[in-house]
A and B are shown apart, each in its own frame.
Chain A
Amino acid sequence: MSFPHGSDLETTTRLSRHQGSAEARTLEGWRARGGYEALRRSLDMSPAEVTEVVKASGLRGRGGAGFPTGLKWSFMPKDDGKPHYLCCNADESEPGAFKDREVIRWTPHLLIEGCLIAARAIGAEHAYIYVRGEFFEETRVLNAAVVEAYENGLAGEGILGSSWSCDVTIHAGAGAYIAGEETGLMNSLMGNRAEPWAKPPFPAQAGAFGMPTTVNNVETLAAVPMILEHGAEWYRQWGSERSPGTKLWSCSGHLVRPGNYEFALGLPLSDIIFEACGGTPSGRPVKAVIPGGSSTAFLGGDELDCATTYEGLAEAGSALGTASPIVMDEDTDIVAAMRRIAQFYAHESCGQCVQCREGTSWVVRILQRIEAGDGRPSDIDTLYELCEQMTGRTICVLADSVVFPLRSSLDKFRADYEALMKPSLVAAG
């Protein structure tokens, strides 16, 4: 078990406070911990009121993009006579991120409750939980919880004795990173290849099965019950104006205490790395950190004072992403790390857009050649230009996801690349 760790830094365990307790997995245990009270409360509110509370709380999507959740819900059409759907994105596949699986594994009812409240807010008659294909244990646990929920009137017809009904279905993916992109997820859910589609149509117009759909991340939905229970102001006691609340952190790499943590948003990144996680096991300085999962830009070891908010990390030239810092100490071969990241994206590209399909694997091959000692200074120019052409040109942001770490690694660690090239070539320019 990776949570909770003893740490020198104060954690704020709201989402994760019941993780580690096997009892919380059962409906009985969950009810004993106040479970489903928020759902009961939401049934006394109108869908618009639920949306308003979440909007006021400032909760932002925890899947990486940080889009305001309440605002997203408000995009759903009202009284359009069509079925609406909620999709919970439990396809957590970002290299570095391993927080959603813990939410599912320990507190499946928290997720179900969050799904139901969200479904009520957007008028959904069916909530689909799209679980990453490799999450066998998580799927089993979640499945047991959904069965319990159905058996106890918490899902299906007439929830909690009310006139409101909502089905909950677990859908296991088949192992594609791109199924975590919202339109790719819906395509996969519908039985198609997990290929993102070009927007418009946006999911709130025509999503899963052509109907208005909202896609929310596991951690986002898991935060909803406590917001409903305690109110928007209570949630805003943590974090900043634009990044309120608490956040799960998946810390990995060269750390004394890697693992999942929950902090109020806004701590300095260095505190999380050095105080909470204890710094590098070797004691050598940190060379680089990818703060938000592998698709965010590298930060150098001297750039770690930034605040861990959406805006703070954006100012530092990276992104909060999924809040999954990968820490690399001084001995790390940045070119090899970058090559490995690029390989991941080349492997996971769905293959629709040419910039991504061909670009990602071209990047890999150039990096492999540089790694093998056959690099040329012109390769760096080529890589920069590929970054240019792979940004903002494609249906989804998978190609951009390679560019963020690649461009930043070229900017900040160019010497590492050049060190692998023959000195005569580098000197000649």
Chain B
Amino acid sequence: MAENGARADVRLTIDGVEVTVPSGTRVIEAAERVGVVVPRYCYHPGIPTRPAQCRMCLVEVEGRPKLEPSCTLQATDDMVVNTASDAARTARQAVIEFLLVNHPLDCPICDAAGQCMLQDYAYVTNQLESRVDEPKRIMGRDRISDDILYFADRCVICTRCVRFMRDVAEDDSLIVAQRGDKAYIDTFPGRELDNPFQGNIVDVCPVGALVHEDFVFKTRAWDMDSAASVCPGCPTGCNVTIDTKENQIVRVKPRHNAAVNSWWMCDYGRRHLVMTNRGVRADVPLVRDGEQLRPVDWATALDWVAGRIDALGSPGGSAVVSPDASNENLFYVERLLGRLGITGAAFIVPQGETAALPTVPTLKLRADRAANPAGAELFGGRRVDGLRNGASAGGLVVLDDELKGADEDFGGSADFFLYLGTRLAGAARNADAVLPIATFAEMDGTFTNFEGRVQRFHQALRPPGLARPGWMVLSRVLARLGDGEAVNDVRGAFERMAAEAPAFAGLTWDGIGLKGAAAAGSGAEAAGVAASAEADA
């Protein structure tokens, strides 16, 4: 952590370890500096209000008569904090026992089981038996919005959801209704929960009280695999975690990145990402054989394509790329276009409605509905409104554009029509060769976000059939044409891109890490995003 010149530092002791923090730091955050995570429910680092009401983070402070909530307690010089003293541990244990008084203990059917802060702490504090044998208060479940269910009996009334809506989304449609042990979360009378960012209330819920309807009863937490990724819904590039089960995306959660999306993401992004991998896929290389597209193995397809290009020379022509393609795919396509003498690939960006999260200025659902238009521009792409019919002679290369609105005989007049795609769109059937490639979720790679921040995403799914990452396929075509080597992992692809594309000069795969870094000359670089990314890491 950089020294903060504006505020004096204070030095305190937490669980026997001395730590220096800027003055004003709360003890719960100071403790994290020394690796102590004080159990908490109502505290959330992304929500500005701290009601100190769950009473879970109580710690003992030498010289103070009562236990203090560490989420609001300011660290001061010479403070001696004990987070694990007998008094603190007993109090925490009591909180868990109290929370379980009315809790239905329905872990076997709860979607949070395995990722539940109540379950975890109950095990940590060793409360596997209860002294409660009174009847429980039963409230049941409710639909709190059109896509979120509320299981009132599991709720610990931490009010993170209410405060996310009120203090982060500045939408006061969610409230605590009733009081005492009859309290529950509800929408304000006469209001509906209908906010483009409301899905975040499910993520902040520390237990299984709030569940997305499209996730409910779908999988056990321990049956999921997770991958760090980037939301492709718009150029904001919210950092996300993709949870998969049996090679299907079952859930998307925001991943913290202070410079991009803070702790949050929009609902459009969630839905969009879950839907990305649906539909019939191109999963085998196809080459033209008269009127037919003939399935072949990769070696045959690559030899065939390289042979055709070699024979063509540099005839010029046209290209269409997808603004959802990764930087690496775009880089290799640009190399191939250079070989063919084609400049200025066209790309079309679908448009949609925008939405902003008032308290996080960088987080917006942007009108561009694509992951990487900035990357497409960095590689010489031209933004166009609609598709020309590809009538020109010479080469025609299409990278994963669905060719919506294209003529039936699209590409018919080209000398050579190469289609690299995840799906076999209608006009793609006119191609001379179809090379099946992986979606972003099926490979590693990077996107460049709206302000030029290059962000890594990691493979979450297995690609279908013979589909392979575009950079892997194209590097092999180019290698056959004497341009570079075939690469087998994304580092190789990224290194070559960084070496040859000026915008990526100086970046390394490891260097940009999981938080991203600014491309050269981008707005993000000017804004010092790279520096903040380092501080973040």
Contact = CB atoms under 8 A, between A and B. Distances in A.
Contacts of A355: 55, 94-95, 98
Contact of A350 (B52, B56, B156, B179): B179
**Chain B interface mostly:** loop
B55 A369 contact: no
A357 B99 CA distance: 9
A332 interface: no
Contacts of B156: 354
Contacts of A395: 51-53
Interface in B51-98: 51-56, 58, 65-67, 69, 72, 90-91, 94-95, 98
Contacts of B482: none
Contacts of A347: 180
Interface stretch (B132-140, B269-277, B391-399, B455-463): B132-140
A358 B98 contact: yes
Contact of B98 (A176, A198, A354, A382): A354
A351 B178 contact: yes
B134 A366 contact: yes
Nearest to B65: A392
Interface in A337-354: 346-354
A57 interface: no
Interface string B147-159: 0000000001101
Contact of A393 (B58, B132, B179): B58
Contacts of B53: 198, 352-353, 395
B101 interface: yes
A388 B389 CA distance: 79
B180 A362 contact: no
A347 B95 CA distance: 20
A358 B69 contact: no
Nearest to B96: A354
B179 A354 contact: no
**Chain A interface mostly:** helix
Contact of A346 (B54, B91, B99, B181): B181
Contact of B102 (A195, A349, A353, A358): A358
B53 to A, nearest CB: 4
A366 B99 CA distance: 16
A303 B6 CA distance: 60
Contact of A198 (B51, B101, B183): B51
Contacts of B7: none
A358 B180 CA distance: 8
Contacts of B191: none
B522 to A, nearest CB: 41
Contact of B179 (A176, A198, A362, A392): A176
Nearest to B131: A382
A193 B176 contact: yes
Contacts of B135: 365
B176 A351 contact: yes
A352 B101 contact: no
Contacts of B137: 361
Interface in B171-197: 175-176, 178-183
Contacts of B54: 353-354
Interface in A344-401: 346-355, 357-362, 365-366, 369, 382, 389, 392-395
B55 A393 contact: yes
Contacts of B175: 193
A365 B137 CA distance: 11
A197 interface: yes
Contacts of A369: 134
Given A351-B157, A365-B134, A357 B180 contact: yes
* Chain A CB within 10 A, most for which of B91, B98, B99, B157: B98
A242 to B, nearest CB: 21
Contacts of B176: 193, 351
A365 B98 CA distance: 13
Contact of A358 (B67, B91, B181): B181
A134 to B, nearest CB: 17
B181 A198 contact: no
Contact of B132 (A193, A197, A362): A362
A362 B51 CA distance: 24
Nearest to B179: A351
Contacts of A354: 54-56, 95, 98-99, 156-157
Interface string A187-223: 0000001010110000000000000000000000000
Contacts of A393: 55, 58, 66-67, 91, 94
A358 B101 contact: yes
Nearest to A376: B133
A358 to B, nearest CB: 4
Interface in A215-248: none
A197 B94 CA distance: 22
Given A353-B53, A355-B55, A362 B101 contact: yes
A392 B180 CA distance: 18
A355 B97 CA distance: 9
A197 B58 CA distance: 16
A354 B99 CA distance: 7
Contacts of A365: 134-135
B85 to A, nearest CB: 14
Contacts of A351: 157, 176, 178-183
4 A-B pairs with the lowest CB-CB distances in the bound complex, closest first = A351-B183, A365-B134, A352-B53, A389-B94
Interface of A: 176, 178, 193, 195, 197-198, 346-355, 357-362, 365-366, 369, 382, 389, 392-395
25 contacts: A176-B179, A193-B175, A198-B51, A198-B69, A346-B180, A346-B181, A347-B180, A348-B180, A350-B179, A351-B179, A351-B183, A352-B159, A353-B55, A355-B55, A359-B98, A361-B180, A362-B98, A362-B101, A365-B134, A369-B134, A389-B90, A389-B91, A392-B65, A393-B55, A395-B51
Given A354-B95, A358-B101, A392-B65, 15 more contacts: A350-B179, A351-B178, A351-B180, A351-B183, A357-B183, A360-B180, A360-B181, A362-B132, A366-B134, A369-B134, A389-B91, A393-B55, A393-B66, A393-B91, A394-B55
